[in-house]
Structures are given as C-alpha cells and as structure tokens.
Amino acid sequence: MTGRLLAGRYQVGSLLGRGGMADVYLGTDIRLGRTVAIKLLKSSLTGDPAFRARFRQEAQAAARMAHPTIVRVFDAGEEIVRDENGIDSPVPFIVMEYVDGKLLKDIIAMGTLEPAEAVHIVDGILTALEYSHRAGVVHRDIKPGNIMITRTGQVKVMDFGIARAVSDSSATVAQTTAILGTAAYFSPEQARGESVDARTDLYSTGLVLFEMLTGRPPFRGNSPVAVAYQHVSEEPPSPRSLSAKVTPTMDAVILHALTKDKHARFQSAAEFRDDVHAAASGRTPELRLPSNDPSATLFGARGDEPLNPALKQLAMDDDSLVRTQTRPPAVWVWAGILSVAVIIVSVVIWVLTLAPSQELPNLSRTVPSLAGSTFEEATAELAELDLVAVPRSEPSATVAEDQVTRTEPDAGTVVERDVEIQVFVSTGREQAGVPAVVGLNQAAAIQGLELAEFTVGSILSEHSPDQPDGVVLATDPAPGTLIEKGATVNLRVSDGLVEVPDVRNLPLAEAREVLEGPTLRLRVSVDRVGDCGEASDVVVTQSLAPGTVPQRSAITISYCDGT
C-alpha cells in the first residue's frame, strides 16, 4: 500500500506496525499538509457488509470524541484495492492523529513499571474511559497494545469503536478472536459472550494495571480458550505475591477491579481512579457494595457471595467485640423503656410550646456562577453553601489560565447540601502543532492553517532557485512547533525569481560555481571573444545584467581568448 493515495488526499507512507485486525502506516494529509497515521483493516473483514456498515458508524462516533487522552479519528472510508488475482475488494481505512511515542506493551516488555509511573498511566486510561463512557462509547478492547505513551509522557488511548464494530457484525468467533487479539484482556462477560458495558473496560484496565506492576497478566494458558476460561472461573493471583512493589492497598484495588461479577467491581472510571489515587497516597480506598443488591452487607451480597477478600480484609477491625450473651438483663429492659418514655414526654412538651414558624429549613442549595474566579475563590464560595468543590481542568480560548470556566452541575442548578460540584479551571488556549504546509502553494497553506485554527500573519516573498512562484518556503514558527490555537503563523513564499550577481572580473571557474550553485541554479554557457587583449580566464561579459531574473534562466559568460 506504500505510495497509494487514499480518498484523493491521504498519501500512504512507510509501515509503522501490524496488529491483529489492521496494519498501520505513516501518512500525509496532502490537503492540510499534516502527518497522520493510516490504519488499513485486515482483508479477512472486508467481505462482511455488516461489519463495514457498523465500522463506518463506529468510526463516526469515535471521530466525535475530542479529548487529550484519546487518539483523534480524522476520517474513515473505503478504498478499492486489487489483489494479485486481479480481484477488486473494498478495504476500510481510518485516518488518525499521529502519535510520536511508544506502545505500552513495548514499555512493559522492557520490565515492570514503577508504581508512580503505573498510577500515572492508569490515570490517563481511566480519564479517557470516563470521557468515552459519558459519550456512550464502550471501548471493549483495552489492552497495552491500544495505549500509546508520548515522548512527553502523555497517555493516549486508541481504537475506540472498532471492537464494537467487530462484535456487533456477523464476524465469526474465530475472526473476532483474531481481531480482538489475545484473550488475556477479556472480561468474564466477554468470555461468556454476554452483553458488555462500561464495566468491561474497567475490568480490562485492572488487567493492564496488574501487568504494569507485575510484568505479566494474571491469567496465562496454552490457548485463548484456556485463558478465557480462567477469566470466568478462577480467581486472579494477588499482585503483591508477584511483586513486592505492590502495596496492600493497591493490591486490594486491583483485585476489586478484577471481580468476576460486574455488579461488584468498580461501577465507573471515576470510582476506579479515586481508589487508585487513594492507594497510591497510602490511604485505604472506600469500600463499595454491589450496585444491584441494596441488601448486601459489607462483606457479602445476598448472604452467600463475599466481596473481594482483599477489600474485606482491609475493612475488618481486628479488635471487634464478640457478643456472648443471648439476651439483655431485665433491669436494662426496664431502664430502656423508662428512658424512651421520658424522651417522648419531653418531645411532646417541646412541640406544644414551640412558637409557629413561617419558614421551613432550607435544605437545598443553588449552584452559584463561578466563571472567572480562581479555584480557591470558588472552593471558598461553595464551602459557604455546604457544597464540595472537585477540581477539573480544560483548555479555553476565552477564559484566562487558572480561572474557572464552568461547573457541573451548571450555575443555577438546585442541589442538596454536601453535593460535589465539578469546577473546571482553564489551562489556557488549547495547544496544537503548526501544520506542515511547507511545499504547498500559498492558498492551500492558508487553508490548512485556518482549518487548524491558527491565524495567518505576514506573508513575505523570497527568492528561491527551485520552488515555483507562490510555494511556501518556511513558516514561523516552524512546522510541528506546539503553540496556542489562534496564534499567528507567518509565511515565507517563493517569488519564482533569483538575484543575478555581477561576475565580471571573476575567474571563469569561480563565476560558474556562483551561477550554477545551489542558491541560483542558472543554466550557464561559456563563450570566448577576441580583440580584447591578452588571453585570460577572467569573465569579461555576461549576457544577463545584475538583478532579478526568473528561475533556471540561461546566461552566457565570456572570456578573452587573446586573438
């Protein structure tokens, strides 16, 4: 596929890698002049019309997600490709953001990660999942091979929606297994062929965190079927038993994420992230009950299904008292009855003597408008209303850095006391790399910069020996430089001319070197003239006068031959 032009605008470059369901190539969007990654789906999927239709829908859903922790999807389509037998077939492709970094699976292959590094990476994964789950998109294939770490340490999750397209099409079980890769990251419900939801992604994230800290997945076997069976029927080993770096609290968090019953494991990415942070800071994470059973106790659900044993152990009080008496003494019974009677009489007297009040106690609060304030000011204002501020951050083109942009719930919303209010603080304008528009004509370069949300500044004409008139020679800042969106980018554009110098009185060889060199590249011819004195290799005349001339102009220089 190298060298092919997809959809009339995406130039396929070198192969970056191969996966279970696709090959990934470096590419160039020639319309916008930016580097992209192009994913071409395996031919084993192209014959399934249901998959191709579902794939297009899921690619569109993924393209609507814009978050720093998610690899952006720019475009998707199909390209007709002819195989070696002369048969044409449609090949689905995705055009994605190009990420300069390493796959997490390659990082893990180099050795176990330090706990702080693992916490940073899982925080990025869970942040991406929190965003996608809120948008109604379940990944279904969270694994180290789908997670990129950039050179600056940023976490990027990719391939959103593709696994759903596969599982919802008519692909066979064998195809699905090949596409989704190893079964080491299946959830129990996936292994059983049941419907999945956001909690499937959280189980897989727990597997990734397990592997980052121990260097291996919890379940291994001779075949994908054997591994899938273990996800359904066997308890995972304690991460702490495989690595001394894992603390008891982090061990408990991981095992809770790997609970077989999806109702008993973490119910949201935010819950999982909060407990990871608590464990990383040395605090005991909050213990939560299964979501589908209000009668569940701290240590079990429905009286016979215990919660994760590690969390149970952390929650148990070693000094708890044991009851040994079957019934209270009679004197305690009568004392209790008398106390209750006194309380009832006191309450009746208080009610009868209470002056009527025209006001009911105000148990609700209205979220104030905090836009433009600092987070500290917002926290103080919410505290006065018995509301809890939770920090969040987001880029903003209109709100200055470190100032509040908005809240969730919105200002004016009526809430109860002690409710958490998410306060979003501006990180300033969103940054992006300057598009690679060098080599494009001026109109296309301006269009590319504006589409990337930059402002075109000055356009300076400059001589060039080889670039045609109107072609961009350079940008300021240079392509790839990270700057704020909306910032000014200046252009230097070729005018299609060169400046001819005066080479008279220069030795012939030196004059040719100047005129034919990389800065001029003129077409030079040499002539000799007579009746000019003694023979010499010094240039006596030149056919083009010093000044500007079109590129690749012809010029004749002459020397005296002494005749």
Q: Where are the alpha helices (DSSP H) in 406-539?
A: 442-451, 508-516
Cα 320 to Cα 313: distance, rounded to the nearest angstrom: 13
376 CB-near residues (< 8 Å, 6+ apart): none
Token pair 């001026």 is found at: 442
Contact 520/434 with Cβ under 8 angstroms? no
Question: Distance between CA 258 and CA 137 in Å, rounded?
Answer: 21
DSSP string, 119-173: HHHHHHHHHHHHHHHHTT---S--SGGGEEEETT--EEE--TTHHHHHHTTT--H
Quickly tell me which residue has 């916008």 as its tokens: 32
**338, two tokens:** 């008398």
Full DSSP string of 330-375 = HHHHHHHHHHHHHHHHHHHHHHHHPPP-S-----EEEPPP-TTS-H
Rounded-to-integer distance, Cα 526 and Cα 555, Å: 9
Using an 8 Å Cβ cutoff, are 484 and 429 in contact?
A: yes
> Does residue 528 come out as left (phi exceeding 0), alpha (psi in the -120 to 50 range) or beta?
beta
b/e map 292-317, b = 16+ CB within 10 Å:
eeeebeeeebeeeeebbebbeebeee
Q: Which residues pair with 420 in a beta bridge?
A: 388
The CA distance from 243 to 249, in Å, is 14
Please say whether the beta carbons of 60 and 76 come within 8 A.
yes
| CA atoms lying within 13 Å on the CB side of residue 307 | 27
29, 141, 159, 495: the active-site residue: 141
Please indicate whether residue 141 is annotated as part of the active site: yes
CA 353 – CA 342 distance, rounded (Å): 17
CB atoms within 10 A of CB 31: 15
Give catalytic residues, as residue numbers.
141
